[in-house]
Amino acid sequence: MNVDLSGRSTSAVTTQVGSQARLGMRNQRRVQTLVVYALLAALSVLFILPFMWMVSTSLKESQDVFSYPPSFFPNSFIWQNYPRGWTLLPFNTFLTNSIIVTTANVVGNLVSCSLVAFGFARLRARGRNILFLALLATLMIPREVTIVPRFLLFSQLGMVNTLWPLILPAWFGYAFFIFLLRQFFMTIPTELDDAARIDGASTFRIFFEIILPLSKPALGTVAIFAFIGNWSNLLDPLIYIRSQELYTLALGLNLFRGQNFTQFNMLMAVSIITLIPVLTVFFLSQRLFVQGVTLTGMGGR
């Protein structure tokens, strides 16, 4: 009892003594929080402003786009810019091509990269380390080094001006995704494999029925990265596609720009339409995004 009381009293004393300092600290923390919020708010405006500008331009009358001084808000909202811009060029065809290319890329990347990643994560073999380093080294090779020979290869195969050069490479693995998936597969306990193996499961079944179902978040991340990367890919279509009926959205936008450069309002409207799938995917799967970035980002540690 005694000990208990004395203990209580000492703590009371320290509280009283410390209260002055603590009050100062609390104020300091409050000021700090305020500063942080002010900075965050100001920076958010800076990051959002270009988007707002884009939307506002897309709704303006043609003559208002280049009014002086520039006005941030449109005088009247011309929603017509959206359908009119879309039909100025065969954007429905471009959309179809983009969907074909992007889907083929996403599926191809998922299939090839998960197989390869499983090999690197789970199967032991001579030469594995050196091959893995070779895989990582391909991440360092600038695309510019290989675009000429790649072009020659596809032209030898008679695939220039077809969608194949945009699709085929995805079916043979991509180092960044393989690395991401391997990192994830390695976090799955090997006991699960061993147990399945004792039950007589083949390696492929372990891959297909144990590893893959447990890796849905990582696979989702790969799918999203592949989707976004391909949806806005301009370089490969620019090199390989000639005829307009094979144009992707990115290429179509570029063409649109050349022909109707003054019609910034419609150009912006169509640009926004092409961004909608990306933004939708992003908002639906933000968590996966951040996870994926983290997984590979930390891989460098």
Partner 1 sequence: MAVEQRVNQTVARPMDKPKMGKMARREEREFYLFIALWIIGFLAFDAGPILASFVISFTNWSMMSPPAWVGALNFQRLMTDPLFYTALWNSLYFGVGSVGLGLIVSFLLALLLNQKVLGISLFRTVFYLPSVVSGIAVAILWIMILHQDFGLINSVLAWFGIKGPGWLVQPQWAKPALILMSLWGAGGSMVIYLAGLQSVPQHLYEAASIDGAGPWMKFRNVTVPMMSPVIFYNLIVGFIASLQGFVLVLIMTNGGPANATLMFGLYIYRVAFQFFQMGYASALAWILLVVIMIITVLQFLGAKYWVFYEGEVAK
Q: Scanning residues 24 to 63, which ones bind partner 1 (CB under 8 A)?
A: 32-33, 36-37, 39-40, 43-44, 47-51, 53-54, 57
Handedness of CA 68, 72, 73, 74 (dihedral sign): positive
Handedness of CA 59, 64, 70, 71 (dihedral sign): negative
129 interacts with partner 1 by CB under 8 A: yes
If the CB atoms of residues 32 and 92 are measured against partner 1, the closer one turns out to be 32
Structure tokens at 160: 């220039």
Burial of 134 from C-beta contacts in 10 A (0-12 / 13-18 / 19+):
exposed
If the CB atoms of residues 214 and 228 are measured against partner 1, the closer one turns out to be 228
73 interacts with partner 1 by CB under 8 A: no
Q: Which of 21, 133, 158, 243 binds partner 1 (CB under 8 A)?
A: 133
From the CB of 4, what's the least distance to partner 1, in Å?
A: 28
The SS3 call for residue 115 is helix
CA distance 219 to 211: 11
Q: How many other CB atoms are found less than 10 A from the CB of residue 227? A: 19
Q: How many other CB atoms are found less than 10 A from the CB of residue 157? A: 12
162 interacts with partner 1 by CB under 8 A: no
If the CB atoms of residues 7 and 299 are measured against partner 1, the closer one turns out to be 299
Structure tokens at 46: 């800076």
With contacts defined by CB under 8 A, name the span among 10-18, 82-90, 94-102, 132-140 that binds partner 1.
132-140
Q: Which of residues 165-224 bind partner 1 (CB under 8 A)?
A: 169, 171-173, 178, 186, 203, 207
Structure tokens at 285: 């799967």
**Furthest-apart CA pair in the chain: how many Å?**
95
69 interacts with partner 1 by CB under 8 A: yes
Q: Which of 12, 192, 195, 279 binds partner 1 (CB under 8 A)?
A: 279
88 interacts with partner 1 by CB under 8 A: no
With contacts defined by CB under 8 A, name the span among 5-13, 87-95, 147-155, 209-217 that binds partner 1.
147-155
147 interacts with partner 1 by CB under 8 A: yes
If the CB atoms of residues 100 and 229 are measured against partner 1, the closer one turns out to be 229
68 interacts with partner 1 by CB under 8 A: yes
Structure tokens at 226: 């592949």
Q: How many residues does the chain have?
A: 301
226 interacts with partner 1 by CB under 8 A: no
User: Which amino acid makes up residue 36?
Assistant: V
